[in-house]
């Protein structure tokens, strides 16, 4: 296992690279120091033809199942011990799945992929890695070191407009009594304001739901603008009660860095299919109880 800290911008944002047998992932160091195993995957080191040697971690309708399972096996080698992936069939909703135990984390026998429809997951169970898949949308990982609860959130422009990250925090509060002030969050690589253009339908929706949202947009042409979804989700975390100094944003754009990441917007029209990245969070152990 190799730790790579050769990029000052990434390191200053609170992240570092971890690599094992050609598989590389971005790790949020402060979240890890709080006791949460976490990672944002990249596209290299796998077996999928996207176009070659790609670490595609989802999308059974666009890749062979054996490729995806082999890629997941390689990805999980980045973490010590045995872990169970808990994911969801993402539908750009604001729905949250609570994973109570390892049995719930496992897919049903004979089912390829996930059969739970939602876009965020919360848990406090050890050795479960909550997982969301992206290829331009914003992945957000949240952990509370006091209650040991954690969440993984998939926030595209639809989920962000529905405040899914706030809803995930509210679910952590209901299930585990987790105060937002204790939480730490990592916002992973996503299509960013440098590249991600949206039309008037998205602009109008955001202005309707968030009257002060002009700052999220940079006009490009008539009826279009670039949108900063990383910033939008950061601000939603702050408004939900997470301290700004406990939010870490990866300074990487998936559309700009297709050498590192899959990008739906950049690749779908060119190749007809796109791999999926995976962002995961979990914790290793049950909390130690004080003996009186």
- Buried/exposed code over 6-29 (b: 16+ C-beta within 10 A; e: otherwise): eeeebeebbbbbbbeeebbbbbbb
pLDDT tier at 290, thresholds 50, 70, 90: very low
> 92: closest CA among 140, 160, 150, 172?
160
Tally of structural domains, the chain: 1
Answer whether residue 210 is part of any domain: no
Mean pLDDT of 229-255: 98
pLDDT at 115: 81
Give the model's confidence band at 291: pLDDT under 50 very low, under 70 low, under 90 confident, else very high: very low
Query: Is 118 contained in some domain?
Result: yes
Query: With 80 as the cut, is the pLDDT of residue 219 above it?
Result: yes
pLDDT tens digits, 140-152 = 999 999 999 999 9
Domain membership flag for residue 78: yes
- Residue 232 placed within a domain: no
Q: What is the per-residue pLDDT for 210?
A: 96
Q: Which of 34-38, 105-109, 201-205 has the lowest mean pLDDT?
A: 105-109
| pLDDT-based confidence at residue 292 (cuts at 50, 70, 90) | very low
User: Would 41 be classed as within a structural domain?
Assistant: yes
pTM over 0.85: yes
Q: What is the CATH number of the domain that holds 91?
A: 3.60.140.10
Residue 33's alpha-carbon distances to 36, 65, 70, 107, 180, in angstroms, are 7, 34, 29, 30, 18
pLDDT of residue 6: 64
Residue 34 located in a structural domain = yes
- Assess if residue 77 is contained within a domain: yes
Q: Is residue 191 pLDDT above 90, yes or no? A: yes
Considering only 20-34, 43-57, 112-126, which range has the smallest mean pLDDT? 112-126
Half-sphere exposure of 174 (CA within 13 A, CB side): 10
Task: Determine the structural domain holding residue 130 and report its residue range.
Answer: 2-191+247-282
Strands 44-48 and 54-54: antiparallel
* Comparison of pLDDT for 3 and 36, the residue scoring more: 36
User: What is the pLDDT of the chain when averaged over all its residues?
Assistant: 94
Q: Assign 288 to helix, strand or coil.
A: coil
Per residue in 20-29, pLDDT (tens digit) is: 999 999 999 9
Q: Has residue 55 been placed in a domain?
A: yes
Site of tokens 């984390």: 105
pLDDT at residue 285 tops 70: yes
């Amino acid at each position: 296992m190799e730790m790579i800290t050769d990029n000052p911008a990434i390191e200053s944002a609170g992240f570092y690279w971890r690599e094992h047998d050609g598989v590389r992932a971005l790790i949020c160091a402060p979240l890890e120091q709080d006791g949460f195993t976490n990672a944002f995957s990249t596209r290299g080191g796998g077996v999928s033809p996207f176009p070659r040697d790609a670490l595609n971690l989802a999308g059974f309708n666009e890749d062979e199942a054996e490729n995806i399972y082999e890629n997941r096996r390689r990805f999980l080698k980045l973490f010590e011990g045995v872990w169970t992936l808990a994911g969801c069939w993402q539908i750009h909703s604001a729905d949250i799945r609570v994973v109570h135990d390892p049995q719930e984390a496992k897919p049903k026998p004979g089912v390829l992929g996930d059969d739970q429809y939602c876009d965020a997951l919360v848990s406090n169970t050890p050795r479960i890695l909550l997982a969301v898949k992206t290829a331009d949308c914003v992945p957000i990982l949240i952990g509370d070191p006091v209650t040991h609860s954690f969440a993984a959130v998939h926030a595209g422009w639809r989920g962000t407009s529905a405040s899914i990250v706030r809803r995930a925090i509210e679910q952590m509060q209901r299930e585990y009594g987790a105060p937002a002030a204790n939480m730490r969050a990592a916002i992973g690589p996503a299509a960013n304001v440098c590249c991600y253009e949206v039309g008037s339908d998205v602009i109008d929706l955001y202005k309707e739901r968030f009257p002060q949202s002009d700052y999220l947009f940079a006009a490009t042409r008539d009826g279009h603008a670039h949108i900063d979804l990383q910033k939008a989700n950061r601000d939603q975390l702050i408004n939900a009660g997470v301290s700004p100094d406990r939010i870490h944003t990866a300074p990487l754009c998936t559309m700009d860095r297709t050498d590192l990441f899959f990008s739906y917007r950049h690749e779908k029209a060119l190749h007809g299919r796109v791999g999926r990245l995976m962002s995961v969070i979990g914790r290793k152990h049950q909390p130690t109880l004080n003996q009186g």
